[in-house]
């Protein structure tokens, strides 16, 4: 039988919270698929909550060096992911999602217009720029085969431009929010040392 690293993290609390969480992790493993998970080979968690590490990596290193096999140690560490940082991250994720959506809408609309031009009932379309008469079935990307001019009607162009404008707005909002965050971090007003979390880590038998 070998051993493997096993760990979980949780929000800051007391050692009795840690014990509760440990028990519920063991129960989750038991009910998973009938096999007991590696966490069930752990005999218990030892309270080392007075130890506070500057980041999760140094906390992991220390616990693995200092625990016995089949034991887990609970320590505290400073988390940059929690509370305010987490809120910032969620907000950025949301803004990025809006940008992707705006870009997707432009792509979809272009594809729709290109198909509309190709599949219209009349077999030819005239280019307003070079005045060529073009067989629609050859037009694949909505552009004139002779001069490259976009064959979209004014209505199509307006609708597309409105969607493109949404992309610029989304990009602008994202850029502004990123700049705001950078300022906050530079000024030190972003929360740092209050963001403690608990790491419970050790060696399980496997």
Contact positions vs Zn ion (CB under 5 A): 127, 129-130, 132, 144, 146-147, 149
Output 83 or 132, the one with its CB closest to Zn ion: 132
Output 115 or 147, the one with its CB closest to Zn ion: 147
Minimum distance between the CB of residue 138 and Zn ion, rounded to whole angstroms? 13
Minimum distance between the CB of residue 164 and Zn ion, rounded to whole angstroms? 22
**How does strand 71-78 pair with strand 44-53?**
parallel
Residue 183 has, within 13 A of its CA and on its CB side, a CA count of 6
Minimum distance between the CB of residue 180 and Zn ion, rounded to whole angstroms? 46
Maximum CA extent, the chain: 83
Which regions of the chain does DSSP assign to beta strands (E)? 3-11, 44-53, 71-78, 124-126, 133-135, 196-205
Minimum distance between the CB of residue 104 and Zn ion, rounded to whole angstroms? 29
Those residues with Cβ within 8 angstroms of residue 38's Cβ, 6 or more apart along the chain or in another chain: 4, 6, 29, 204, 205, 206
Output 68 or 131, the one with its CB closest to Zn ion: 131
Output 88 or 125, the one with its CB closest to Zn ion: 125
């Amino acid at each position: 039988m070998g051993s493997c690293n096993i760990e979980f993290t949780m929000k800051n609390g007391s050692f009795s919270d840690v014990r509760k969480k440990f028990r519920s992790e063991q129960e989750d493993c038991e009910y998973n698929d009938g096999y007991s998970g590696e966490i069930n080979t752990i005999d218990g968690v030892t309270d080392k909550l007075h130890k506070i590490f500057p980041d999760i990596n140094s906390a992991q290193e220390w616990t693995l060096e200092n625990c016995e096999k089949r034991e887990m140690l609970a320590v505290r560490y400073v988390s940059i992911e929690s509370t305010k940082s987490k809120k910032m991250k969620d907000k950025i994720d949301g803004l990025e999602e809006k940008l992707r959506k705006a870009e997707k809408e432009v792509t979809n609309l272009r594809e729709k217009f290109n198909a509309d031009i190709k599949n219209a009932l009349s077999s030819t379309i005239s280019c307003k720029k070079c005045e060529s008469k073009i067989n629609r079935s050859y037009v694949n990307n909505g552009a004139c085969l002779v001069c490259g001019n976009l064959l979209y009607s004014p209505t199509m162009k307006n609708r597309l431009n409105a969607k493109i404008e949404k992309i610029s707005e989304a990009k602008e909002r994202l850029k502004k929010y990123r700049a705001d965050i950078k300022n906050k971090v530079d000024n030190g007003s972003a929360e740092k040392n209050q963001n403690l979390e608990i790491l419970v880590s050790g060696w399980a038998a496997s």
